[in-house]
Amino acid sequence: MAQKLTTREQDYSKWYNELVDRADLAEHSDVKGCMVIKPYGYAIWEKMKDVLDGKFKETGHSNAYFPLFIPKSYLSKEANHVDGFAKECAVVTHYRLKNAEDGSGVIVDPDAKLEEELIVRPTSETIIWNSYKNWIQSYRDLPLLINQWANVVRWEMRTRLFLRTTEFLWQEGHTAHATRQEAIEETEQMCEVYARFAEDYMAMPVVKGLKSESERFAGADETYCIEAMMQDGKALQAGTSHFLGQNFAKAFDVKFADKDGKREFVWATSWGVSTRLMGALIMTHSDDEGLVLPPKLAPIQVVAIPIYKSQEQLKEISEKILELGTKLKSKGISFKFDDDDNRRPGWKFAEYETKGVPVRLAMGPRDFENGKIEVARRDEKTKEVVDFDGVEAYIENLLDEIQDNLLNRSVKFREENTQEVDTYEEFKLKMKSDGGFILAHWDGTSETEEKIKAETKATIRCIPLDRKAEEGICMVSGKKSMGRVIFAKAY
Amino acid sequence: MAQKLTTREQDYSKWYNELVDRADLAEHSDVKGCMVIKPYGYAIWEKMKDVLDGKFKETGHSNAYFPLFIPKSYLSKEANHVDGFAKECAVVTHYRLKNAEDGSGVIVDPDAKLEEELIVRPTSETIIWNSYKNWIQSYRDLPLLINQWANVVRWEMRTRLFLRTTEFLWQEGHTAHATRQEAIEETEQMCEVYARFAEDYMAMPVVKGLKSESERFAGADETYCIEAMMQDGKALQAGTSHFLGQNFAKAFDVKFADKDGKREFVWATSWGVSTRLMGALIMTHSDDEGLVLPPKLAPIQVVAIPIYKSQEQLKEISEKILELGTKLKSKGISFKFDDDDNRRPGWKFAEYETKGVPVRLAMGPRDFENGKIEVARRDEKTKEVVDFDGVEAYIENLLDEIQDNLLNRSVKFREENTQEVDTYEEFKLKMKSDGGFILAHWDGTSETEEKIKAETKATIRCIPLDRKAEEGICMVSGKKSMGRVIFAKAY
């Protein structure tokens, strides 16, 4: 194994970058801002996708696929939307290359200029609502509940693997409803689906809340979000669900006839999570030795390493371990036996530690003779020697225990790093010294929000859905506030 | 239900277009050449993806993800490759829009011009081999077996839904090997994986073969393919697997150190299938009433429709049918009960016929009283009234029977439309009158191939892998031939 990782305390940002590299999750490509998601990283994303896709289908959604390209004029149809996305998009202007006449290579063929430029989708509301216009005629066509798994492009100047990349993978749900109420319920339902996924699978506690106006999706009437706390105390927006009102229906003239034949604009939602979740997963649990994965999302849940001097010992141990492997697989536990003769056990231990495999088994000749096996857990870095007989049940329980432990540990961390503050002086001090989430009163204006951001770099992460009703006074303006909101520095 | 489809005999091409529309599979978007894959069409594609993905993993491949964009200069690194793809690609030249100063809308910001243009991937060999360069150092890093599910763009002037679209979805496998032999074995293995998928799941017989030089992938030393016959006698290339030799390794300077430390160029393969398979599936089995789906790829395998006059009858029948539905689902059979009160049974029968649902059940009050149920099969358009008790086993068998029947029927059709021809005169006549596959001797030159194509529109679909050794004389040039090749007009 190569040298140790930079520790979180030394340099959190460097630790993250090194970890993503060493755990073989992703790397920068030569194309500015675009990443390569490597097989091990992609395997984690695939597990996330599978779970989420199942949850979308359970809640009545179907998948479909819409074009990568959006005509430039479509983006402009919704005024706020174009303001939000025009500044960061990839523009296709030509459709052919040709050989340069001077033999210097291929050049863009000037004769192949598009009449109207195409935008590589930064999000698909416009192209999708342009289709919905033809799909929706009557109340019988509603609700329309569609999701798409796709790549999107937002031109970013400063990028970080998974957290902010020019191209990223995501899902975007786009639904159409007959009533405002039903659309709001859908928006809330999908926020809840994301929250359950974050907590039950990623073992990452989140706060559900509403965005302030300035942080809303461009084109939304209301943005719901889930916000998580990373180990450096910064917030990470892990998913959003937008109530779009009738904005896109009006922009694309999408009306439906109700039971009485009256024609009304349709109500809309959209919601998405992306490969950014990978960044959140990494930063929630991992430690200075490398990645720590919750068992439910680990591509390899259990790895077994034989320790031997002779080929005969290897053979004996292998038989035992493969027999155990079969039992584990029959329980739906993913298992890898690493008997690669080119690598020493110590190297392998470090390798699977770096990659966050939740449970590591090791068996040497003495264990074999005594009917024992060593079981190490990645989350707490503890190990035990246990009876080989019945170890499969022990492991099954241990995986559940690790999953629970990671969530509990993260909940505890968040609690320890969340505080209420009442004066702006204290706020500035605490935001600088402690970081984390600060619950404070705010008067609800963008001016105050801007001022706080400019002076402290902290933003309003959300107005928590479950905040307690508590009248107070805005810490900056002294005006009335109806409850505390969450401030934090954010990714 | 709307009016009947144009029949295959009246106008095969129109029949196809209407069917894709009526069965709700896909539609053209406003973006030239780009399609929208609608939920029902996408559900079929998802089933294909799941099966193929499983087969790729069984054969040792992992998924990963590489950038959408390819720097223009990369395309040029492999000489044949750029010739093959430069003429049909989408070029990104700018990364920002801005408001026009005259207030006329958004325009491309001339200050945001890229230094080097980016190509939207038409295929990913170049961007992937640019990564492999860093991933491969020693024989220990080989074989590298990676697949990617992605969208690609090839600018097409004439498009048809699924068969030829500017953007399409596909998978592309890209592997690297230490020896020529191993790479060839991989190429052949993946061709076989595609053939098994086509026959075992799509119920579509295919000929495995090699492409002639002129039809090879741009950058390949050898292209293996599977060729299917559509109901109009035309051929459709359903999948390709390329042996790339050391061409990309040389273009991107990818060498590995063997066990003795000697550095050698790596050997490569790539292989892919796309949403084109949807077109192949449709055209292999469907009839003048609409889509016909093999049960293994049908999103809904069994639909049940209640026939009733009173709500009480509906209640009784519903209970029975839902009980059956539970049994079917427990056997892994996908089942839909359509009790929509807004539609009449006749409308529903036509709807599910158009959508190709393999088995349709209907139960009316008399069936209910007599303990019977009507079972209709889509493939042969026959129906039977059978005992309700034990019908789940009957249905399970029937689904297998339909799957087999569709394959057998397609095999028979292909046999009936394949013939051997020995003279060019006869060839021209038969190609015009009968179409289908014609097996004929060819001298192996591109000149002869070109001449035949120009004069008859028929191309060499492949040199079958299992052709019998049969010396002969080229029907055009009279030169020696070592065996017959397949000629056909093609999609």
Contact A150 B151 (CB under 8 A): yes
B257 close to A (CB below 8 A): no
A144 close to B (CB below 8 A): no
Q: What is the DSSP string of B413-435?
A: HHHHTEEE--SHHHHHHHHHHT-
CA distance B384 to chain A (A): 33
Q: How far apart are CA B239 and CA B277, in angstroms?
A: 8
Q: Is the pLDDT of residue A1 over 50?
A: no
Looking at residues A2-22, what average pLDDT do you find?
94
- Residue A116 resides in a domain: no
Domain CATH code at residue A306? 3.40.50.800
Q: How far apart are CA A207 and CA A193, in angstroms?
A: 13
So what's the pLDDT on residue B17? 97
Interface confidence (ipTM) of the complex: 0.96
CA distance B337 to chain A (A): 15
- Residue A145 resides in a domain: yes
- Contacts of B163 by beta carbon, 8 Å cutoff, 6+ apart: B236, B276, B279, B491
Contact A117 B108 (CB under 8 A): yes
Q: Is the domain of B269 the same as that of B326?
A: no
Contact A66 B29 (CB under 8 A): yes
Q: How far apart are CA A15 and CA A270, in angstroms?
A: 34
Residues of chain A contacting residue B29, judged by C-beta atoms under 8 Å apart: 66-67, 127, 130-131
Q: Considering CB atoms only, which of A29, A75, A97 is closest to B91?
A: A97
Q: Is the domain of B17 the same as that of B153?
A: yes
Q: Of B484, B443, B482, B430, whose CA–CA distance to B461 is shortest?
A: B484
CA R_g for chain A = 26
Q: Is A70 helix (H, G, I), strand (E, B) or coil?
A: strand
A259 close to B (CB below 8 A): no
B424 close to A (CB below 8 A): no
Q: Model confidence over A90-119: pLDDT tens digits?
A: 999 999 999 888 877 889 999 999 999 999
Q: Is the domain of A342 the same as that of A426?
A: no
Contact A68 B167 (CB under 8 A): yes
Looking up tokens 């063929």 gives A109
So what's the pLDDT on residue B65? 98
DSSP character for B121? P
Looking at residues A422-435, what average pLDDT do you find?
96
* Maximum Cα–Cα distance across chain A: 83
- Residue B376 resides in a domain: yes
- Residue A265 resides in a domain: yes
A460 close to B (CB below 8 A): no
What is the H or E stretch that residue B18 is in?
helix B12-22
A66 close to B (CB below 8 A): yes
pTM reported for the whole predicted model: 0.97
The answer to whether the bond into A143 is cis (omega within 30° of 0) is yes
B64 close to A (CB below 8 A): yes
- Residue A34 resides in a domain: yes
Q: Considering CB atoms only, which of A76, A108, A127 is closest to B105?
A: A76
Q: Is the domain of A385 the same as that of A441?
A: no
Contact A30 B130 (CB under 8 A): yes
Contact indicator for A477, A443 with CB cutoff of 8 Å: yes
Interface of B with A in 111-130 (CB under 8 A): 117-120, 127, 130
Q: Is the domain of A279 the same as that of A329?
A: no
- Contacts of B479 by beta carbon, 8 Å cutoff, 6+ apart: B443, B445, B473
A100 close to B (CB below 8 A): no
Which of A236, A262, A285 terminates a domain? The answer is A285
Q: Of B146, B124, B149, B141, whose CA–CA distance to B254 is shortest?
A: B141
Which of B234, B253, B285 terminates a domain? The answer is B285
B314 close to A (CB below 8 A): no
Q: What is the DSSP string of A155-183?
A: --SS-BTTTB-SEEEEEEEEEEESSHHHH
Q: How far apart are CA B116 and CA B71, in angstroms?
A: 7
Q: How far apart are CA B353 and CA A132, in angstroms?
A: 25
So what's the pLDDT on residue A2? 59
Contact A63 B72 (CB under 8 A): no
Domain CATH code at residue B155? 3.30.930.10
Amino acid identity at B60 = G
Phi-psi region of B332 (alpha: psi -120 to 50; beta: other; left: phi over 0): left
Q: Is the domain of A373 the same as that of A270?
A: no
Q: How confident is the model at residue A80 (pLDDT cuts 50, 70, 90)?
A: confident
Q: Is the pLDDT of residue A245 over 80?
A: yes
Exposure string for A40-50, b = 16+ CB within 10 A, e = fewer: bbbbbbbbbbe
Q: Is the domain of A277 the same as that of A349?
A: no
Q: Is the domain of A127 the same as that of A231?
A: yes
So what's the pLDDT on residue B312? 96
So what's the pLDDT on residue A115? 95
> Regarding predicted confidence, which is higher, A82 or A483?
A483
Looking up tokens 């109340």 gives A139
Q: What's the total number of domains in chain B?
A: 3
Q: Is the domain of A62 the same as that of A128?
A: yes
Contact A95 B119 (CB under 8 A): no
Q: Is the domain of B154 the same as that of B249?
A: yes
Angle at B394 between CA B389 and CA B399, to 5 degrees: 145
Contact B36 A64 (CB under 8 A): yes
Residues of chain B with pLDDT under 70: 1-2
Domain CATH code at residue A439? 3.30.110.30
Q: Is the domain of A317 the same as that of A186?
A: no
Which of B253, B285, B317 terminates a domain? The answer is B285
Q: List the single residue in B with minimal CA-CA distance to A343.
A: B140
What sections of A201-257 are H helices per DSSP?
247-251
Interface of A with B in 163-222 (CB under 8 A): 167, 169
So what's the pLDDT on residue B1? 47
Contact B89 A105 (CB under 8 A): no
Domain of B327 in residue numbering reads as 300-400
B96 close to A (CB below 8 A): yes
Q: Is B476 helix (H, G, I), strand (E, B) or coil?
A: coil
**Number of A–B residue contacts, CB under 8 Å:** 184
**In this prediction, what percent of chain A has a pLDDT beyond 70?**
100
Q: Is the domain of B307 the same as that of B441?
A: no
Q: How far apart are CA A73 and CA A77, in angstroms?
A: 7
- Residue B232 resides in a domain: yes
So what's the pLDDT on residue B81? 83
The answer to whether the bond into B143 is cis (omega within 30° of 0) is yes
- Residue A109 resides in a domain: no
Q: How far apart are CA B452 and CA A276, in angstroms?
A: 54
- Residue A163 resides in a domain: yes
